[in-house]
Amino acid sequence: MIGRASTKKTWDRFWSNRSSSEIYPPVNDIASELKKVTDLAYKKILEVGAGTGRDSIRISAEQNQVYVLDYSPISIDLIRSQPHSQRLLLIQSDALSCPVPDGTFDIIFHQGLLEHFSSPHRLLKENHRILKSGGFLAVDVPQTIHIYTLIKQALILCKLWFGGWERQFTPRSLSRLLIKSGFEPVHYYGDWSRPGILYKIVKLIASRLKIKLPMYPRFLGKITESFYRTQQKLRTKRILQYTAFSIGIIARKI
Express each pLDDT in 27-37 by its tens digit: 999 999 999 99
Decide if 151 is inside a domain: yes
Decide if 161 is inside a domain: yes
What average pLDDT does range 75-103 have in this prediction? 95
Express each pLDDT in 194-207 by its tens digit: 999 889 888 888 88
Whole-model pTM above 0.85? yes
Q: What is the DSSP string of 182-247?
A: TEEEEEEEEE--SS-HHHHHHHHHHHHTT----SS--TTTHHHHHHHHHHHHHTT-GGGGGS-SEE
Decide if 211 is inside a domain: no
**Strands, DSSP E only, in 51-115?**
65-70, 88-92, 105-111
Looking up residue 105, the CATH number of its domain turns out to be 3.40.50.150
Decide if 199 is inside a domain: no
User: What distance, in Å, lies between the first and last C-alpha atoms of the chain?
Assistant: 39
Percent of the chain exceeding pLDDT 90 equals 69
**How many Å is the Cα radius of gyration of the chain?**
18
Sign of torsion over alpha carbons 73, 64, 82, 246: positive
Decide if 84 is inside a domain: yes
Q: Which residues are CB-neighbours of 243 under 8 A, at least 6 positions away?
A: 143, 145, 146, 192
Q: In the chain, what's the furthest Cα-to-Cα distance?
A: 52
Mean predicted lDDT score pLDDT of the chain: 91
The pLDDT, as a whole number, for residue 2 is: 46
What average pLDDT does range 227-237 have in this prediction? 90
The candidate with the shortest Cα–Cα distance to 91, out of 104, 109, 107, 79, is 79
Express each pLDDT in 175-184 by its tens digit: 999 999 999 9
- Give dist(CA 170, CA 159) in Å, integer: 24
What average pLDDT does range 101-123 have in this prediction? 96
Express each pLDDT in 125-177 by its tens digit: 999 999 999 999 999 999 999 999 998 888 888 887 777 788 999 999 999 99
Instruction: Count how many domains the chain has.
Output: 1
Least confident stretch, 66-70, 208-212, 219-223: 219-223
The pLDDT, as a whole number, for residue 140 is: 97
Strand order in the sheet with 44-48: 88-92, 65-70, 44-48, 105-111, 131-142, 246-253, 183-191
Higher pLDDT, 87 or 118: 87
Domain that holds residue 68: 8-192+235-253
The pLDDT, as a whole number, for residue 197 is: 86
